[in-house]
Structure 1
Amino acid sequence: MSNAPTRARCEEDVLRDSLRARVEGAQLKLPLLPEVAQRVLGMAGDPSAGVADLARLINRDPSLCAHVLRAANSPWYCRGSKIVSIRQALAQLGAENLSQIAWTIAMGTSLLRSHLFKAELDRWWAAALAASLVAKDIARSRRSNVETAFLCGMMARIGRPVVYEALTLLVDELELSPGVAVALADDLVRQYERPAGLMLVAKWNMPPAISDALQGLERIGEVAAQEHAALAQISQRMADELLASEDVDVDSLAADPAGAILNLYPDVLQGLVARRGAILSSIEAIR
């Protein structure tokens, strides 16, 4: 009689215990915040400050420069003639949009690393990109801080890639079956994505609003900064809907507790549905 089921259960226990120990001991391997993203964070609240340095930084990296220009020419951002230089992108898009594009690309480079969970990371990344665009539009409609909204949408599920990377490292280090990690991944991500995300936000010295957003995703009535949590929740839910189908129930979304906190009207969400094609095209340009 095969002992394979017993071995699998043993490996499951080892993986669960090892991941729990690393999370509880704050021993997760966290990526460094790329230099470009550090520059963008330093510009928060005053996008014109240091933008020339940011442009020079982008131009020094041919791969990043090409990636930024591709994103800048996507339907969401580009409204006129084709953008062929970072200087032109700055002139047409403005410092805020250029910095957000650069931040997004730099962050993706640092987080999309796990070879074991490529499909899962691709889905997470698409949803994060969509949520950042949704959050910006909602913020504009409410005349609130667009930069903070962008980060709330982008970072709302930031713990997921951290957990996927931790599982990948544990499989390699402990010589476990990759299939065991894949089978347990959904459960372990749900369990640990919040603490993992908060560790990363702290390491990257992100604004307090981002911690508020992560803390409140499932406890929306228990956080002081309810609007940040509500914006993160509704933008991620809207992003999931837009990625799944063009048939989005905007009335249901507006009636969500997060929508009620934001006093969100269906017409704002309907406008996003109308721009679904531009959102999807921009996601493909950035990925």
Structure 2
Amino acid sequence: MIRFQSSRLSAEALAATARELPPLANTTSRIIDILGDPMFEVSELIKVIALDPVLTAKLLRLANSAACGIFRPAATVGDAIVRLGSGTILTLALSTTGKPPAEADLSAFGLTTQSYWRHCVASVAAAEELAARRVAKFGSGLSAAALLHDFGKLILARHLTPERSALMAEFLATHPGRCSIDAEREILGVDHALAGAVVTRHWKLPEEISMAIQNHHNPPDWEQDLWNGVILANQIALENDGHPDVSIDTLESVADAIMALGVDDQTYQSIAKASQDRFQQLLDLFD
């Protein structure tokens, strides 16, 4: 333990990194502000989105996709908002921000920028299928939390010196059955879940989203449906990619989430299959 002390990150370092990130797009910031008011007017949201042609095109494309299962076309931004809901609007607005820069080095986590992004989108697909089954009252933040649940890895990567990366690799090599988040905590003193929550709080996203991100690996006893939804979305995405997280802590969290949400095996498998079908459509849309 002593030899790792010099490699540890402070809360101040994470906060400083969050402040150094490029600011959110003006449209995204305005959407966050508007949706933060439980009594927001749809007309205000329409005005903001209508000024962003790229986001408008994505919204209309998704609202008119087969996934929505509605034959009447959504012809306006207002139609799309009503059809998709505020949670999907927020997720689409955040999708550009959540995508990693091409130069990001995520090798310490066993990832490339492409595999990282595919997992994020796959998690959104699983989250949307969970929400569609109405297995719990997730609120409007599930898909956004699923999109950003691993964003903290991009933050930690900025601090991964060759020495820290080597220490993480050594830890994993000498501790069979442990996973990368254990290495993060042991070597860096923090994990990507906390780092991601630091950023989303800096962006002033709803606190329930930040809490879901912060607790998606080891939720406390007073867990909430939204956190459990992110836990399941993450695991379903990993399973669909053929790389489920089989660490003891994660398997316990997943089992607890399944029990808390009352998801039986048939429903779980159905959600996993449907999210696979939805994944490519979302990947094309978010790109």
TM-score by length of 2: 0.68
**1:3 match:** none
| Between structures 1 and 2, the one with greater helix share | 1
CA distance in 1, matches of 2:197, 2:101: 20
CA distance in 2, matches of 1:260, 1:211: 23
Query: Offset of 1:203 from its aligned partner?
Result: 0.7
Q: Which runs of 5+ in 1 are unaligned?
A: 1-12, 172-179, 246-251
CA distance in 2, matches of 1:43, 1:147: 10
Quick check: 1:36–1:58 contact (8 Å CA) kept in 2?
yes
Greater CA deviation, 184-193 or 222-231?
Answer: 184-193
**5 Å matches for 1:174-253?**
190=181, 191=184, 192-220=191-219, 222-244=220-242
CA distance in 1, matches of 2:76, 2:241: 30
CA distance in 2, matches of 1:27, 1:163: 12
| Residue identity (%) | 17
Change over 3 Å in CA distance of 1:127–1:253 after alignment to 2: farther
Among 153, 176, 185, the residue aligned to 1:160: 153
RMSD across aligned positions (CA): 3.8
Among 38, 57, 68, the residue aligned to 1:66: 57
Quick check: 2:193–2:217 contact (8 Å CA) kept in 1?
no
CA radius of gyration, larger in: 1
Quick check: 1:131–1:239 contact (8 Å CA) kept in 2?
yes
Cα deviation code 1:246-278 (max 9, x no counterpart): xxxxxx999723212322212322332342323
Quick check: 2:91–2:143 contact (8 Å CA) kept in 1?
no
**2:80 match:** 89
Asked if residue 132 in structure 1 is aligned to residue 131 in structure 2, the reply is no
Change over 3 Å in CA distance of 1:152–1:21 after alignment to 2: closer
Alignment-mate amino acid for residue 238 of structure 2: D
CA distance in 2, matches of 1:182, 1:102: 38
CA distance in 2, matches of 1:62, 1:203: 26
Asked if residue 43 in structure 1 is aligned to residue 25 in structure 2, the reply is no
CA distance in 1, matches of 2:94, 2:221: 27
Cα deviation code 1:220-258 (max 9, x no counterpart): 3x342343332221111012223449xxxxxx9997232
Q: Which runs of 5+ in 2 are unaligned?
A: 106-110, 172-179, 185-190, 244-250
Change over 3 Å in CA distance of 1:253–1:88 after alignment to 2: farther
**2:142 match:** 149
Change over 3 Å in CA distance of 1:183–1:111 after alignment to 2: same
Cα deviation code 1:112-148 (max 9, x no counterpart): 3523138733333332233234234434432413413
**2:279 match:** 279
